[in-house]
Amino acid sequence: MVLSLYNTATRTVSEFRPITAGKVGIYLCGATVQAPPHIGHIRSGVNFDILRRWLAASGFDVTFIRNVTDIDDKILHKAVHESIPWWAVAMKYERAFTDAYKALNVLPPTYEPRATGHITQMVELMEILIEKGHAYAPGNGDVYLEVRTLSSYLTLSNQKLDDLLPAGDAEDRLKRDPRDFALWKASKPGEPSWPTPWGDGRPGWHLECSAMAQAYLGETFDIHGGGLDLIFPHHENEIAQSEAAGYGFANVWMHNAWVTTAGEKMSKSLGNSLQVQELIKKVRGIELRWYLGSAHYRSMLEFSFEALEESAVAFRRIEAFLDRSIGILGKTPEGIIASGFADAMNDDLAVPAALALLSETVKSGNNALAANDLVSLEVAVAEVRGTLGVLGCDPLDEAFLGSHPSNTDAIDGLISLALQQREAARARKDFAASDAIRDQIAALGIVIEDTPQGPRWQMTSGR
């Protein structure tokens, strides 16, 4: 079965055909670094990380570009508001995003270009657009793309130019058409600026992505991704710029759906509660990732703390299976890709279907464990690890080992002492004493399980 992906441009699921056999170039619209990341932002990161991991697991050599837009109106506004330089604002939140990506085991991109590092490429792109008659500089320092000159526009969102609500702001008088959009903005006093043939200014919102995608992936590349809300205007305008310049641009457009609360799209005005840095105080990063990744990337994910906690419990069940099995096997099998899992992932990344299979595998693994069928158990563990690896949720991944709660030898030794006391009490059938020990240990957040191989312990609150 070959990989098929949903393409927003065609509104269909179709076979993925790379431009160059065995290679994939992906451009993901990353953060505009003007606030800390909330789980909606990071869902996008997780969804496309799963895509990337699956492509890599399928044998593709993946070049993954995720940009940082480090100059825009909101960043400048925030700089004034916080009384710090705009570049300090950008760096502060870029770090917050980097921390969040790391906490959720989102792989670092192959390259992470910043908009301000690609002014040269933007100016070159504008020169091409002006030369081809698709852009103009009316003399005020701005540069606009003239949308009426395009042979096609708004193909991604399937809209008609005349159906758009009129923009109607007064400062647009220099535009030839009110729907022309700014490639470049003249700088106001006190704002950062870079010199161009049309005056000092700074990038408009969309130009950076066209310039950087071309710089790192070429004129035509395989996959362009981002959130649903980027379809219009951001991606339409990227297409407009790049195609007007004569580039083929992206072959496949993929868009992740939102995390919603109370049925509504999460907005930046929600406050701090759904920021990644807050949520990973409640659940571990691996559990938050599991939750965000468990819904299909094109489905809205209705956030609730109850659902998050429930999801984390389900994940711990799988984690506990791995923990138990590896203890019994005495070794850690490497992950393998089961064919059913591959089929699910090849079907437009059908993670929910993959998770249903994973549940079955864990169940059969537990049965193998009970039957002491180590051969079947090893296969099950390998399949579980293979699946979790692609999802970025393998607890044995070194990215998460630090958060693994039961790896401390000293604690293990101490608890073993207590467990020896309890075993002695059980042996003489002094259950009052043995239960007292178990209760005292439980009060510390450590659960005791008696197994045919002897007692084992696990932290329940060690996050």
Residue pair 25/55 in contact by the 8 Å Cβ criterion = no
**How many residues at the interface with RNA, by CB under 7 A?**
86
Q: Which residues ranging from 169 to 188 are in contact with RNA (CB under 7 A)?
A: 179, 181
Task: Determine if 192 is a binding residue for RNA (CB under 7 A).
Answer: no
Strands in 181-186's sheet, in edge-to-edge order, are 135-136, 143-145, 181-186, 201-203
Residue pair 134/150 in contact by the 8 Å Cβ criterion = yes
Task: Determine if 1 is a binding residue for RNA (CB under 7 A).
Answer: no
Task: Determine if 242 is a binding residue for RNA (CB under 7 A).
Answer: no
Q: How far is the CB of 61 from RNA (least distance, A)?
A: 25
Task: Determine if 164 is a binding residue for RNA (CB under 7 A).
Answer: yes
Nearest to 70, CA basis, from 103, 30, 127:
30
Report the 10 Å Cβ neighbour count for 310.
Answer: 12
User: Which of 49-57, 104-112, 131-139, 257-265 is the region at the interface with RNA (rule: CB under 7 A)?
Assistant: 257-265
User: Which of 101-109, 380-388, 405-413, 449-457 is the region at the interface with RNA (rule: CB under 7 A)?
Assistant: 449-457
Task: Determine if 234 is a binding residue for RNA (CB under 7 A).
Answer: yes
Task: Determine if 435 is a binding residue for RNA (CB under 7 A).
Answer: yes
Distance (Å, rounded) from C-alpha 378 to C-alpha 231? 45
Task: Determine if 143 is a binding residue for RNA (CB under 7 A).
Answer: no
User: Which of 135-143, 358-366, 375-383, 406-414 is the region at the interface with RNA (rule: CB under 7 A)?
Assistant: 358-366
User: What is the four-CA torsion angle of 16, 20, 24, 27, rounded to 10 degrees?
Assistant: -100
Q: Which residues ranging from 96 to 135 are in contact with RNA (CB under 7 A)?
A: none
Amino acid identity of 74? K
Nearest to 339, CA basis, from 356, 322, 357:
357
User: What is the four-CA torsion angle of 167, 233, 116, 94, rounded to 10 degrees?
Assistant: 110
DSSP single-letter state for residue 137: -
Tokens at 181, concatenated: 């959009």
Q: How far is the CB of 172 from RNA (least distance, A)?
A: 8
Nearer to RNA, 130 or 368 (CB): 368
Q: How far is the CB of 131 from RNA (least distance, A)?
A: 22
Task: Determine if 229 is a binding residue for RNA (CB under 7 A).
Answer: yes
Q: How far is the CB of 254 from RNA (least distance, A)?
A: 11
Nearer to RNA, 189 or 454 (CB): 454
Task: Determine if 205 is a binding residue for RNA (CB under 7 A).
Answer: yes
Nearest to 127, CA basis, from 178, 183, 169:
183
Residue pair 69/33 in contact by the 8 Å Cβ criterion = yes
Task: Determine if 411 is a binding residue for RNA (CB under 7 A).
Answer: no
Q: How far is the CB of 258 from RNA (least distance, A)?
A: 3
Nearer to RNA, 11 or 331 (CB): 11
Write the binding mask 387 to 406 for RNA: x where contact by CB under 7 A, - elsewhere: --------------------
Query: Among residues 27, 52, 434, 446, which is the contact residue for RNA, using CB under 7 A?
Result: 434
The H or E element containing residue 430 is: none
Nearer to RNA, 20 or 440 (CB): 440
Q: How far is the CB of 127 from RNA (least distance, A)?
A: 21
Q: Which residues ranging from 333 to 352 are in contact with RNA (CB under 7 A)?
A: 350, 352
Task: Determine if 230 is a binding residue for RNA (CB under 7 A).
Answer: yes
Sign of the CA dihedral running 433, 434, 437, 438: negative
Residue pair 185/203 in contact by the 8 Å Cβ criterion = yes
In 3-state terms, the chain is what percent helix, strand and coil (to 5)? Answer: 50, 15, 35
- 86-95 CB burial, b ≥16 within 10 A, e <16: beebbbbbbe
User: Which of 128-136, 188-196, 208-216, 443-451 is the region at the interface with RNA (rule: CB under 7 A)?
Assistant: 443-451
Task: Determine if 167 is a binding residue for RNA (CB under 7 A).
Answer: yes
| 404 phi and psi angles, rounded to 5 deg | -70, 125
The H or E element containing residue 360 is: helix 351-370
Q: How far is the CB of 400 from RNA (least distance, A)?
A: 19
Nearer to RNA, 182 or 245 (CB): 182
Q: How far is the CB of 373 from RNA (least distance, A)?
A: 12
Nearer to RNA, 124 or 435 (CB): 435
Distance (Å, rounded) from C-alpha 314 to C-alpha 79? 43
Q: How far is the CB of 215 from RNA (least distance, A)?
A: 20
Residue pair 201/187 in contact by the 8 Å Cβ criterion = yes
Q: Which residues ranging from 277 to 336 are in contact with RNA (CB under 7 A)?
A: 294-296, 299-302, 304, 306-307, 310-311, 313-314, 317, 320-321, 324
Report the 10 Å Cβ neighbour count for 75.
Answer: 20
Q: Which residues ranging from 22 to 81 are in contact with RNA (CB under 7 A)?
A: 29, 31-32, 40-41, 43-44, 72-74
